[in-house]
Amino acid sequence: MTGARILVVDEAASTVLRMVEQLQQEGFQPLGVTDGAQAADMYKEQSFELALIGVSTDGAGGIDVLRAIMLHDPEALVVMMSTDATVDVAVEAMKSGAREFTSKPWDAPALTAKLMAVLKRRDEMGLRGNLRDLSLTTIVSVNCNEYAQSELLVRDQGRVGAVYFERGGIVHASLDDEEGEAAIYELLTWEDGSFVLRQGVPAPKHTIQMDWAGLLLRGMQQIDDTSREVELDIGEEAGARGWQDRMATALAAVKGVESVVVCSPGGELLAQAASTDPVMGAGLTALVAQRALGISRSLNAGEPRYASITDGGGRFLVVPCEEDYVGLWLSERHPPESIMLEVTTVMRRYRRLRGEQR
């Protein structure tokens, strides 16, 4: 629990310095700032596990900083501190999302114990994160493969969705007035929002019978059908490689994909998106594809659905695309299993539209 990153905000530079020094001695990783507006921006841009905020903060009131942080992250851990705060101010801070309220000057051991208690309660409440960093498809894949019984709560702009897992599947979901599969399909469209995953929480009811992989695939197909006309514009004037350029761009927009190349079996670069060295990437893609195909044939298993290589910096994925191959560089946080659902949907869409052009 020590080692937690803590944002310290107070209008008095001396207070910030003393607080930072004390927290460092206790094993935390504090970062101090005296400007309230800057503090709110820093919290949004960096990763902090807790914020310690003075009620009177230069440039923006401490309550205003608290509200800005809670608007960005409704699950944020914020402890407020003040020398002369009234009861009304303390009540307002707690209503705005503060977890604790403490007085200045502070008692070092008592403050440390209070921060540790807040962090401990956070840990007991479950895994927290944001869909920007960990997609819903990834969360579903991990939980179902681990056969975990758990509850996933997702919040974004005042809306709250819930997904329940049991025995390797999704058994219930809700969002607003929707329940069951309809709720899952809507949640799959969310690209942002905070989430809390709690283990051992039983589902209040069972409204979903479809297996989780089929559920995600159908959801991605619905997103595909809804957005097809908006996202894709492949005109008749596009050359033979125009659709591949557009496909590479669409694949690079899939969450977790960092760069894309499309190449022939011989390693000729056909298209790319966000690649720093597309020619080398095309050669690597063709090499991995041929090696994977050779191994698969030696096992009488036919052409592999995809080939994946993992190293310390992330994952490299090769997927057949008609007679060619697509190479995708993935971020370390996204396993190929979760990416493949979206990747195959995008590729199928472009191949279909390419066929319509012919």
Q: Are 270 and 263 in contact (CB under 8 A)?
A: yes
Give the pLDDT band of residue 241 (cuts 50, 70, 90). Answer: low
Residue 265 neighbours by CB under 8 Å, 6+ apart: 286, 289, 290, 323, 324, 325
**What CATH architecture does domain 239-357 belong to?**
2-Layer Sandwich (3.30)
Average of per-residue pLDDT values in the chain:
81
pLDDT (tens digit, 9 = 90+) per residue, 73-91? 877 889 988 776 566 777 7
DSSP states of 215-283:
HHHHHHHHHHHHHHHHH----TT--TTHHHHHHHHHHHTSTTEEEEEEE-TT--EEEEES-SSHHHHHH
Tokens of 141: 């894949």
Give the pLDDT band of residue 232 (cuts 50, 70, 90). Answer: very low
pLDDT at 217: 79
Please state the domain extents for the chain.
5-125, 128-219, 239-357
* DSSP 8-state symbol, 209: -
Q: What percent of the chain has pLDDT over 90?
A: 19
CA triple 14-15-16, angle to 5 deg = 90
Q: What is the arithmetic mean of pLDDT over 128-156?
A: 83
pLDDT (tens digit, 9 = 90+) per residue, 317-348? 899 988 899 999 888 766 676 677 778 878 87
Q: How far apart are the first and last CA of the chain?
A: 60
pLDDT (tens digit, 9 = 90+) per residue, 26-49? 889 999 999 888 898 888 888 788
Torsion of CA 250, 253, 259, 264, to 10 degrees: -10
CATH of domain 5-125: 3.40.50.2300
Coil/strand/helix, residue 333? coil
Tokens of 201: 């929480």
pLDDT (tens digit, 9 = 90+) per residue, 174-214? 998 889 999 998 898 887 788 888 888 899 999 999 988 88
Task: Report the predicted TM-score, pTM, of the whole model to 2 decimal places.
Answer: 0.44
Beta strand 5-9 with 29-33 is parallel
Coil/strand/helix, residue 14? helix
Cα(224)–Cα(232) distance, integer angstroms: 10
Burial class (CB in 10 A: 0-12, 13-18, 19+), 28: buried
pLDDT at 233: 47
Please state, as a whole number, how many other Cβ atoms lie within 10 Å of the Cβ of residue 311: 8
pLDDT (tens digit, 9 = 90+) per residue, 308-317? 887 655 688 8
Q: Are 270 and 239 in contact (CB under 8 A)?
A: no
Enumerate the β-bridge partners of residue 269: 263
Residue 55 amino acid letter: V
Give the pLDDT band of residue 355 (cuts 50, 70, 90). Answer: low
